[in-house]
Amino acid sequence: MKLRTTVKLAGEGMTNLRARSGLGITAVTIITLAFIIVGFFLQIYLNLDNLSQSLAQRLQLRVFVAEGASLLQLETGLRRLPGVSGLDIITKEEALQSLKKQLGERAQLLELVGQNPLPNTFVLQVERAELIPGVAAAATGLDGVEEVVYGRESLGKLLNLVDAISWLSLAGGIVIFSATLFIVVNTIRLTVIARKQEIAIRRLVGATNSFIRAPFLFEGLYMGLTAACIASLLGDLVYRLVMQEAPQVLPFLPLLPRNAVSPLVTVALFLMGILLGLSGSSISVRRYLR
Amino acid sequence: MINFFEVSKIYPNGTAALYRINLTVGKGEFLFLVGPSGSGKSTVLRLITGEEKPTEGKVLVSDLNVGRLRRREIPYLRRKIGVVFQDFRLLPNLTVAENIAFALEVSEVKPKETRRRVRQVLELVGLSHKAAIYPDELSGGERQRVSIARAIVNNPLVLLADEPTGNLDPETSWEIVKLLETINQRGTTVIMATHNETIVNTLQKRVVAMAEGRTVRDERRGTY
């Protein structure tokens, strides 16, 4: 389709929307509200995810090496595990030194033990929190590993929470998407019905399906984009306010900075708006295409 | 130009609309399609525009096998065919000129070329002075002229007219048929389905008579 035609059909989409502006405004308002909810959930989700990751980084996954095992071989094995992003070694000597430092004056107690009882230890960094249990299990199976420890309990709870929130957001997202899709489909269907005659004549004189569909696609697109635009602006505004107030109210809660949240939320909302507008209008006009 | 080979059309509900029709219409011909309501005239026209597909047999329009066309090829067939209906089918919110230009929009004709062609066909149908008027303000005959102008503005190979005089008084009907004849003389094939005996008998063109889905008569210089 030529640019000139596309511009013209885009204009028709705007005319369609204006022709029933009351209905259009109502529909866009409802969709905007839905988008605001989605954006809010996204902000929460992003922060929770960040929280769980930063906590995970503090969780150490320690691999105790069995007496007499080859450190080099084990190190290669551990580095190869999927999800492992870094690795430190604490030799038994270093461990003993730091233990001595901790014990301070009571370090003489260690003399009683005689030889160094501490094992060589690998400390692993894992890319994401949810990978830790898997890495731990895999590491346990390697030759020369005596034991693998990490904060199993606390990590489990945290992961469960993040999991629950993710599923809840997904389910909520699907419900909200379907509801807004329903609104778009019905709003545009009214335009399609109002323009049935034009559609019939266009088909008669040889309009392609994409030509007939285009004005309605644009109409849906305008609705989705308007809602996305307002919702992301409002979402950003609210997040800014929260960031201002949060340090006083919740000083220990590590919130993501605004520029790590708002762009992502905006992109997500715009993608959702585009998808919503295009799919909604396609559904409305489908019956009139052959 | 247009060829029907043993064409049958049976609708999904079992109604047989056409039964083994054979018909050849040459380039530049003027043909009357006559017969009672339900005899299959409209089905013949709809098979030519690709609105319907033959159940059996083959429909060729300028070497295109209409029944075999893919869905997205049909629009390009339609651009070679002009269609006129009894009820005009003009858009009330567009002026006469805009209604005609509407047909050129879909084939993405440039605005300048559109204006030129619209002016040309308006002159041909004798409505140049009413270009900026809305269809509501026109008489029935004038509306049919606009609809004919819209049908021919794409320079179609063939013009199909389905009862174009059905809503018009005898005098106006004559004007419309004269106009169709003029268009035919400029080289466009014209197929007109009609009930109007007087017109058919006076004009002495080729007549194909249909009854119960069959062609029962095909005469050069025929009568109703």
Q: Both A165 and A203 in a single domain?
A: yes
Co-location of A123 and A259 in the same domain: no
The predicted structure's pLDDT at residue A96: 84
Domain contains B71: no
Q: What is the mean pLDDT of residues B86-103?
A: 93
The tens place of each residue's pLDDT in chain A, 290 residues long, gives 788 889 889 998 888 888 888 888 899 999 999 999 999 988 888 888 888 777 766 777 888 888 888 888 888 888 888 888 888 888 888 888 888 888 877 777 777 777 787 888 888 888 877 788 888 888 888 888 888 888 777 777 777 877 888 888 888 888 988 999 999 899 899 889 988 989 999 999 999 999 999 999 999 999 999 999 999 999 999 999 988 888 888 777 778 888 889 999 999 999 999 999 999 999 999 888 86
Residues on chain B bordering chain A, Cβ-to-Cβ distance under 8 angstroms: 49, 71-72, 74-79, 83, 89, 91, 102-103, 105-108, 111, 150, 154
- Whether residue B224 lies inside any domain: the answer is no
Amino acid in the structure at residue A64:
F
Q: CB of A204 within 8 Å of any CB in chain B?
A: yes
Identify which of B149, B91, B141 has the alpha carbon closest to the alpha carbon of residue B123: B149
Tell which residue, B215, B157, B224, B223, has the closest CA to residue B191. B157
d(CA A250, CA B218): 93
Q: Do A208 and B75 touch (CB under 8 A)?
A: yes
Say what the pLDDT of residue B18 is.
92
**A101 and A134 share one domain:** yes
Q: How many helices (H) does chain A have, and how many strands (E)?
A: 10, 4
pLDDT tens-digit readout, A133-180 = 888 888 888 888 888 888 777 777 777 877 888 888 888 888 988 999
Cβ-Cβ contacts under 8 Å, B91 against chain A: 197-198, 201
Tokens standing for residue A29: 């308002």
Which has more pLDDT, B71 or B122? B122
B215 within 8 A of B40, measured Cβ to Cβ: no
- Rg for chain B, CA atoms, rounded: 17
The whole-number pLDDT of residue A277 equals 93
Q: Does A206 touch chain B (CB under 8 A)?
A: yes
Give the range among A34-43, A247-256, B106-115, B168-177 with minimum mean pLDDT.
A247-256
Q: What pLDDT, on a 0 to 100 scale, did the predictor assign at position B47? A: 95
Taking each helix axis from N to C end, the angle separating A3-19 and A209-249, rounded to the nearest 10 degrees, works out to 70
Give residue A88's region: left, alpha or beta (phi > 0; psi -120 to 50): beta
Question: In this predicted structure, what is the pLDDT of residue A263?
Answer: 93
CATH number, domain containing residue A116: 3.30.70.3040
Residue where a domain stops, chosen among A125, A150, A175: A150
The CATH code of the domain that includes B205 is 3.40.50.300
Pair (A40, A179) in one structural domain: yes
| Whole-Å CA distances, A3 to A7, B108, B110, B178 | 6, 10, 12, 40
pLDDT at A140: 85
Residue B119 lies in a domain: yes
**Which residue, of A122, A150, A178, is where some domain finishes?**
A150
Q: Where a domain ends, among A126, A150, A174? A: A150
Token reading at A282 = 């396609």
Assign B90 a pLDDT band (cuts: 50, 70, 90).
Answer: very high
The residues that bridge with B217 in the sheet, in sequence order, are B209
State pLDDT tens for residues B6-26. 999 998 888 888 999 999 999
**Per-residue confidence (pLDDT) for residue B199, from 0 to 100:** 92
- A170 and A261 share one domain: yes
Average pLDDT, integer, range B105-130: 94
- Identify whether residues A129 and A160 lie together within a single domain: no
Query: How far away is chain B from the Cα of A8, in angstroms, using its nearest Cα?
Result: 10
- In whole angstroms, give the CA distance from residue A87 to residue A114: 30
Cβ of A202 within 8 Å of Cβ of B91? The answer is: no
Domain-located, residue B35: yes
Interface contact flag, B75 A290, Cβ < 8 Å: no
Whole domain around residue B198: which residue ranges?
A: 24-51+78-219
With respect to residue B8, please indicate whether it lies within any of the assigned structural domains: no
| Tens digit of each residue's pLDDT (9 = 90 or more) over B22-67 | 999 999 999 999 999 889 999 999 999 999 999 999 999 988 999 8
Same domain, A242 and A180: yes
- Whether B91 is covered by a domain: the verdict is yes
Of A197, A200, A206, the CB nearest to B106: A206
Model confidence at B125: pLDDT above 80: yes
Q: Is residue B60 part of a domain?
A: no
Kindly state whether residues A133 and A277 are assigned to the same domain: no
- Assess whether A31 and A175 both reside in one domain: yes
Number of domains comprising chain B: 1
- Determine the angle formed by the axes of helices A152-194 and A3-19, rounding to 10 degrees: 90
CB A270 within 8 A of CB A225: yes
The parent domain of residue A224 ranges over 3-55+156-286
**Whole-number Å distance between alpha carbons of A117 and A100:** 13
How many domains, in total, are found in chain A?
2
B157: tokens are 């190979």
* DSSP category for residue A119: P
Nearest CA in chain A to B103: A205
A70 and A34 in a common domain: no
Judge if A107 and A192 occupy the same domain.
no
Q: How would DSSP label each residue in B85-127?
A: ETT----TTS-HHHHHHHHHHTTT--HHHHHHHHHHHHHHTT-
Is B73 among the domain residues? no
Q: What is the pLDDT of residue A3?
A: 87
| Predicted local confidence at residue A113, as pLDDT | 74
Do A141 and A248 have their domain in common?
Answer: no
- Residue B164: closest CA among B182, B150, B145, B183: B145
How confident is the model at residue B178, as a pLDDT?
94
Between A165 and B178, whose confidence is greater? Answer: B178
Residue A74 CB partners (closer than 8 Å, separation 6+): A63, A65, A122, A142, A143, A144, A145
pLDDT digits (tens, 9 = 90+) for B196-217: 889 999 999 999 999 999 999 9
Q: Which of A190, A187, A169 is nearest to A272 (CA)?
A: A169
